[in-house]
Structure 1
Amino acid sequence: MTALVVGIDGGGTGTRCVVATHGGEVAGRGHAGGSNALSSAAPEAALRTALRAALGGLPADRVTAGVFALAGSGPAGERAGAMVAEVWRACGLAGPPVVVPDTLAAFAGATAEPSGTVLVAGTGAVATRVTEWRLTARADGYGWIVGDEGSGVWIGRRAVRAVLAALDGRAGPTALRDAVPGGGVAERIVDAVHTGVAEAGPAWLARLAPAVEEAARAGDAAALDIVREAAGRLLAAVRALGPSPGPLVLAGSLLSEPTLLAELVRGGLGGPGLTVLTARSGDAGARGAAALALRRSRPGAPAPVSAHRRLIS
């Protein structure tokens, strides 16, 4: 059997793994719950589950490289690296895997160009510049407590605040009241949020984002304000990086799906000659991570370029 590489894309609400051949063909897939090192409830277990499912009956000794693209891996630092190393060993794989930010895999999952910009809005949010397959600049991506503006968690928290403000008279009524757990009682809402975050991590708040989308499309003023502000903050992150050669990739569920937020962000982008690409949903990030693993496994060889394109096509 041909040599294999592993690519994992670990976000706040889901983890996807792809095992690929050196020729760019997918040999195995796996998925599990969230594995954001900062916000997911059980990231190590999710990584192990997704990796084992993707490996299936494939021979572990054929794996030559692995790239784990993890949300929150930057701030988590050494903790994320130690977690990945333990998962790698537990699955019987040799050699050191590499941990990279999920934004790099999102970029590689949409294009084989070596440089450009990527804007991610899913559970978290960040804008980064990519130069020759390295992240050279970043705006936001600081985690749900102090950053990730425009993300699913940010939107969910704004929804809760809008409902609480409506209930105690600081703002007008909103249809979001029916979407936030707690039965429209402020104290119960606060308790439900604290319980949800404690049990499932901050990513629990991102579950409210689809309800905000639906209410905004129906014309709810509070929901519209949230979505418009989210778009503005995401665009501000991209603009903070300045112009860059190469394409701009929009990634993450809030921008890769046909959402109102994606429409507003696209409408706010401009610039002569700017190529805007939308990352595919599903396992595109894992494919991008596998493509990065191919490049690490065979540095400088021409074959990984064509294999990269085949893998993400």
Structure 2
Amino acid sequence: MTPSGAPITFAVDAGGTSTRMTVLRGGTAPLDVDLPSVNPSSVGDSTADDGVRDVFAVLRHAAGGDAVEGVFASAAIGGGTLAYWQRAVAAAMHSSGLRGAVHVMNDVDPLLFGAPLRGVGGVLVVGTGSCVLARDGAELLRLGGTEYLASDEGSAFQLGRAGLVAAVRAYDGRGARTAIRDRLERDAGVPVDGLARRLAELPHPKTAVARLATAVTAAWLEDGDDVARGIVEGAVADLADMVRHVSRRLGPLDWVMTGGVVCRCAPFTALLRSVVADRLGQEVTMTLTPDCRRQALSMVAADGSTASHDTPTGAVVVTR
């Protein structure tokens, strides 16, 4: 491929389970690429570093020698890790020979500061992990997002871990019988106590535990399981409490929701909307979006110049 001079913009959503990239060249259809996760808490530092280099190697091939501008966003990027990610992205760009500018930020920032919220509203992320970012035009409020030991309420990780605990208690007789156990054992091919030990021995168990969430939601929806229903209702209550806390602090806002749990399980999302409306005493606009790429692309102008990157965790990496 040879340089064309056409503007190349891109957005990378580096999630806990996978990395998704969209590349736009003027006048052509978007190129969507799915790659493994590059989040260190999910895959470890070494694998994450290799994965970031792979992301920019793929981008370099797609750009064909043209300069690029875009956004690299990840839940792993925050105030304490921003400098690390600047270095990692810069090293990957230099390694690939890519020219251009990359705006490095937390993956919630584009959802709040891109279209349509443009900096005023609330973002609720319910995927492998969970968090809230909200702004009323003056005050910025962030809840959660401090990884699975301290936060991630209502997330796939919380659902998966609670389901595993319930299954183990059913196995040893302390808890009620639950279809979650049957589903976990069938999927894993081992008794649930063996599955629990296997997961505990993983160096980075977050993603593997989060995958167990589907057994919980399936037991709830397909088996009518009371234990699963209680776990789901607890997760929804935690998420609704986060929205209520923000609403009390900042007032009524429009919301964007994203993440695998709310985007892939419509009954969970319907229940969440209902509980939020009940807690707040009014209906709340909560728009679903599959990830942050569309919003991230809206933060880069069509001519490749920066439209808006004034975000809490924003930093720019440039190579010539």
Aligned pairs for 1:52-201 within 5 A: 52-63=57-68, 65-74=69-78, 76-107=81-112, 111=116, 113-130=118-135, 136-180=140-184, 181=188, 183-186=190-193, 188-195=194-201, 197-198=202-203, 201=205
What is aligned with 1:252? Answer: 259
Report the Cα offset of residue 246 of structure 1: 4.9
Distance of aligned partners of 1:105 and 1:143 in 2 relative to their CA distance in 1, 3 Å threshold: same
Amino acid at match of 2:132: A
Q: Name the stretch that deviates more: 139-148 or 286-295.
A: 286-295
Amino acid at match of 2:269: A
Amino acid at match of 2:227: A
Residue 298, structure 1, aligned to residue 301, structure 2:
no
State the SS of the aligned residue for 1:239: helix
Distance of aligned partners of 1:112 and 1:172 in 2 relative to their CA distance in 1, 3 Å threshold: closer
Superposition TM-score, scaled by structure 2 size: 0.80
Query: Counterparts of 1:131 and 1:54 in 2: how far apart (Å)?
Result: 35
What is aligned with 2:215? Answer: 211
Query: Counterparts of 2:27 and 2:283 in 1: how far apart (Å)?
Result: 30
State the SS of the aligned residue for 1:297: coil
Identity of aligned residues (%): 27
State the SS of the aligned residue for 1:298: coil
Query: Counterparts of 2:105 and 2:82 in 1: how far apart (Å)?
Result: 10
Query: Counterparts of 1:247 and 1:143 in 2: how far apart (Å)?
Result: 25
What is aligned with 1:275? Answer: 285
Q: Would you say how many aligned residue pairs link Structure 1 and Structure 2?
A: 291
What is aligned with 1:311? Answer: none
Partner of residue 11 from structure 1, selected from 15, 18, 26: 15
State the SS of the aligned residue for 2:244: helix
Q: Name the stretch that deviates more: 37-46 or 256-265.
A: 37-46
Tell me if structure 2 keeps the 8 A contact 1:117–1:127.
yes
Partner of residue 240 from structure 2, selected from 235, 240, 258: 235
Query: Counterparts of 2:128 and 2:103 in 1: how far apart (Å)?
Result: 23
Residue 287, structure 1, aligned to residue 303, structure 2:
no
What is aligned with 1:263? Answer: 270
Amino acid at match of 2:197: D
Query: Counterparts of 1:265 and 1:8 in 2: how far apart (Å)?
Result: 28
Distance of aligned partners of 1:130 and 1:85 in 2 relative to their CA distance in 1, 3 Å threshold: farther
Distance of aligned partners of 1:124 and 1:26 in 2 relative to their CA distance in 1, 3 Å threshold: farther
Report the Cα offset of residue 55 of structure 1: 4.5
Tell me if structure 2 keeps the 8 A contact 1:31–1:53.
no
Partner of residue 48 from structure 1, selected from 44, 53, 60: 53
Distance of aligned partners of 1:294 and 1:203 in 2 relative to their CA distance in 1, 3 Å threshold: farther
Distance of aligned partners of 1:244 and 1:24 in 2 relative to their CA distance in 1, 3 Å threshold: farther
Report the Cα offset of residue 162 of structure 1: 0.8
